[in-house]
């Protein structure tokens, strides 16, 4: 007889993943214990170790989940036959949409980056590299087509992605009712966020045309 499939395995793993993502985002790596994760997931702590080697492995899997999804999407955008300016628009939109689907990610990355990424190994950092290289391909194509000005890709990337991550952190602050009256915490629709991010990115990268008098 074929081995019996454990139908509880996937739901349990997903519950642990979601609990870990929520807690790591709220408290950081050092502020979360495996007991905390088990309690929120509603599982025995031994079940966590059945699916994940240890806490640092679980943390890296949560981070890599978003980064791999983004890198695959950015690669698909870079490979698409559309114009570079449209690729840039899609890059911004998909970054926002994916962060919406994984609301824990922006806060985790802001904390991790501010601390010097002490919990990320070279494999996990490689996923960040893949995202960046895909973005760089869009820039190079735009430059070659005469649509984008020459700009250091690191400066372009941080100028586009940075504000999107910062807004996600701002929204987290605004989630506390006693703070919602503050002007900087006023709600901004994600449609407006995407449109603003796209327009800002286009303006930053647009190559100025020479006039007949120049």
Q: What is the pLDDT of residues 149-165, one digit of tens each?
A: 999 999 999 999 999 98
Query: Is the fold of 8-52 the same as that of 64-205?
Result: no
**Bridge partners for 206 per DSSP:** 148
* C-beta of residue 193 within 8 angstroms of C-beta of residue 96: yes
Assigned CATH class of 8-52:
mainly alpha
64-205 is classed in which CATH architecture?
A: Orthogonal Bundle (1.10)
* Residue 207 DSSP class: P
Q: For 200, what's the count of Cα atoms within 13 Å in the CB-facing half-sphere?
A: 18
Contact assessment for residue 147 and residue 87, using Cβ atoms and an 8 Å cutoff: no
- Where do we find the tokens 């791999």? 68
* Cross-strand bridge partners of residue 148: 206
Residue spans of the domains in the chain: they are 8-52, 64-205
User: Biggest alpha carbon distance in the chain?
Assistant: 83
Tokens coding 10: 């996937």
Residue pair 66/121 in contact by the 8 Å Cβ criterion: no
15-61 residue pLDDT tens: 999 999 999 999 999 999 999 999 999 999 999 999 999 999 999 99
Calculate Rg over the CA atoms of the chain: 20
Distance CA 193, CA 159 (A): 14
pLDDT for position 183: 87
| pLDDT (tens digit per residue) in 76-99 | 999 999 999 999 999 999 999 988
Q: Residue 91's closest CA among 171, 187, 167, 156? A: 156
DSSP state of 177: G
Residue whose C-alpha is closest to residue 15's, from 50, 46, 40: 40
Cα separation, 32 vs 136, in Å, equals 36
| 3-state SS, residue 147 | coil
Q: 137-146: per-residue pLDDT in tens?
A: 999 999 999 9
């Amino acid at each position: 007889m074929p081995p019996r499939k454990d139908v509880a395995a996937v739901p349990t793993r997903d519950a642990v993943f979601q609990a870990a993502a929520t807690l790591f985002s709220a408290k950081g790596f050092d502020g979360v214990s495996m007991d905390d994760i088990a309690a929120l997931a509603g599982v025995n702590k031994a079940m966590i170790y059945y699916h994940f080697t240890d806490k640092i492995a679980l943390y890296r899997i949560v981070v890599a989940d978003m980064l791999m999804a983004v890198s695959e999407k950015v690669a698909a955008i870079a490979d698409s036959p559309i114009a570079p300016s449209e690729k840039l628009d899609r890059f911004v939109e998909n970054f926002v949409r994916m962060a919406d689907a994984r609301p824990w990610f922006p806060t985790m990355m802001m904390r991790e980056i501010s601390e010097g990424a002490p919990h990320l190994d070279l494999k996990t950092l490689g996923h960040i590299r893949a995202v960046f290289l895909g973005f760089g391909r869009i820039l190079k194509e735009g430059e070659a087509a005469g649509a984008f000005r020459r700009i250091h890709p690191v400066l372009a990337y941080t100028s586009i992605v940075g504000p999107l991550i910062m807004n996600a952190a701002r929204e987290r602050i605004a989630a506390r009712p006693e703070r919602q009256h503050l002007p900087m915490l006023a709600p901004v629709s994600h449609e407006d966020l995407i449109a603003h991010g796209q327009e800002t990115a286009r303006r930053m990268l647009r190559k100025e045309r020479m006039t007949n008098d120049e």
